[in-house]
Chains A and B, each alone.
Chain A
Amino acid sequence: MKNSKPFKPGQWVLLLVYWLYVAIPLAWGIWSTLRKAMVLFN
């Protein structure tokens, strides 16, 4: 069975960019929803 080998350094940069690419819109969506939800506690 093959196991994964150590990652190339460039992959860490790619990893960070790619996760930010999906995390930023998601965080914006969550923030928008939370702001709306805050009305409930006012």
Chain B
Amino acid sequence: MPGFFSKQRITASPDYNRWLVPPAALSVHLCIGQAYAFSVFNEPLTRVIGGSASAPDDWKLTELGWIFSLAIVFLGISAAFGGKWLEKVGPRLTMFVAACCFGGGFLISALGVFLHQIWLLYLGYGVIGGIGLGLGYVSPVSTLIKWFPDRRGMATGMAIMGFGGGAMIGAPLSVLLMDHFQSTVSVGVIETFLTMGGLYFISMTIGALTIRTPPEDWRPEGWKPPVLRNKMITHRHVHIDQALKTPQFYLLWLVLCLNVTAGIGVLGQASVMIQEIFKGLVTPAAAAGFVGLLSLFNMGGRFFWSTVSDYIGRKSTYFVFFAVGAGLYAAVPSVGMTGNIALFILLYAVILSMYGGGFSSIPAYLADIFGTRYVGGIHGRLLTAWSTAGVLGPVLVNYIREFQIAQGIAKTDAYNVTMYIMAGILLLGFFCNLLIKPVHEKHYMQHDEFDELDGAYPLDEYRNTNPSTLTKTAS
């Protein structure tokens, strides 16, 4: 009998309602999205010893900043290395391990705060929690694509939208819990970490227990693969390792990296930027509202653009991101000079929606180019582009800004060159996207190839009609 966590155990019956699968994916993504709200803990963590104010032995913000950075780095590493394992063991075990890592990371971090040992926070939330982030992020993607062959973009968009929404739940929840637990002797972080670790573990485990994969030859009621095929959508499969040998993988890596670099750079600076460009008109509280609004558009764009990509195609969607995005970035300085705050906010809202759309449309793009069989693993490897952009974007924006201020340029105008450079980055992405063509014939899996990941051959018409040609079997 297959084990509780095995792939065979979670294969759904043909009457299973596929709309039960997105909530399973959201159960995980809404939890791990908390990572983007980790900064709410920074200030309370600087006064763990001092209580109401920082004591000399308290942690500094610079030390604490490494926790989030480590988590994002380990997200990329675990997604890259864990993707192949995901394809082998299936989504249930991967999601459960992600739940243990992410929930466990909070518990270790709570111990770190209790003992006042910063390395335990690095290890707990940064390394172990980061591994949970990476595994949790990629685990439901290929399952969703297989359940929604007719609406790949929308399906993955729903899950990845959850990652954007996770921060919106995580931030107010953390504040609420810290307010509840804080006392004269505690800032309430330990209790909050313990509570959130438990809650996230339970929610992610519910997702792991309810996730189901479709039967191998399942198709939605009444849906048939289009006869007149779009050349950019393959119905064959490229092996996870073979994908790395194609130029398409690296072009898609650049497409994701460049789109994220442009967005992430301005997202981190949004609050300071609007206050400096509209000096005296935008208060810090209003600037925080601006960041909140951008988060909403970032989240909404994940669903909207990935759904649009189902209709206009993935390549066209990225053309829109790069062409319109470049135009909007280039327009920001002029709009800033006119003093039109509403138009400025609108520009950024559209830009951030396309930043989110870049994340959510990429799994479907990968499935179109490399087939659906290993898309989870290939997506995991592509996420190293996110980690790279996570470092590149903010560094680029900060460095250019500091350089200009050092040259004597007014703070109000210091962002102009940055915006033009971001527009240039997006134009580069436009050309990378232009170069993406269908994968060469030699890269596709052949019928007599042994699939070492799960000991099975791709199930297709060939297998049904030519069973005798399959000479190798699983050991």
Chain A residues engaging chain B, CB cutoff 8 angstroms: 1-8, 11-12, 14-15, 18-19, 21-22, 25-26, 28-30, 32-34, 36-42
A7 to B215, CA, bound (A): 16
Which applies to chain A's interface (DSSP): helix, strand, loop or mixed?
A: helix
Please give the distance in Å from B360's CB to the nearest CB on chain A: 15
Q: Which residues of B lie under 8 Å from residue A33 when comparing CB positions?
A: 168, 292-293, 295-296
Please give the distance in Å from A1's CB to the nearest CB on chain B: 5
Taking A5-B14, A40-B282 as known contacts, 14 extra A-B pairs with beta carbons closer than 8 A to each other, sorted by chain A number, are: A2-B218, A4-B18, A4-B221, A14-B20, A18-B23, A19-B23, A25-B30, A26-B26, A28-B172, A29-B167, A29-B170, A37-B292, A40-B289, A40-B345
> Most B CB atoms within 10 A — which of A7, A8, A39, A40?
A40
Which applies to chain B's interface (DSSP): helix, strand, loop or mixed?
A: helix
Knowing A4-B14, A26-B165, A29-B168, say if A21 contacts B290 (CB, 8 Å): no
Knowing A21-B27, A28-B169, say if A37 contacts B15 (CB, 8 Å): no
A12 to B19, CA, bound (A): 10
20 cross-chain CB contacts under 8 A: A1-B218, A1-B219, A4-B219, A6-B15, A8-B15, A11-B16, A21-B23, A22-B30, A26-B30, A26-B162, A29-B165, A30-B168, A32-B171, A33-B296, A36-B289, A37-B290, A37-B293, A39-B289, A40-B345, A42-B286
Interface pair B217/A1, CB less than 8 Å apart: yes
Q: Which residues of A lie under 8 Å from residue B293 when comparing CB positions?
A: 33, 37, 40
A40 to B18, CA, bound (A): 40
Q: Which residues of B lie under 8 Å from residue A6 when comparing CB positions?
A: 15
Interface pair A22/B289, CB less than 8 Å apart: no
Q: Which residues of B lie under 8 Å from residue A14 when comparing CB positions?
A: 17, 20
Q: Which residues of B lie under 8 Å from residue A42 when comparing CB positions?
A: 286
Q: Which residues of A lie under 8 Å from residue B185 when comparing CB positions?
A: none
Interface pair A3/B23, CB less than 8 Å apart: no
Interface pair B220/A11, CB less than 8 Å apart: no
Interface pair B23/A30, CB less than 8 Å apart: no
Does B285 reach chain A (CB closer than 8 Å)? yes
A-contact 0/1 string along B155-190, CB 8 Å cutoff: 000000010011111111000000000000000000
Knowing A7-B17, A21-B23, say if A39 contacts B288 (CB, 8 Å): yes
Does B226 reach chain A (CB closer than 8 Å)? no
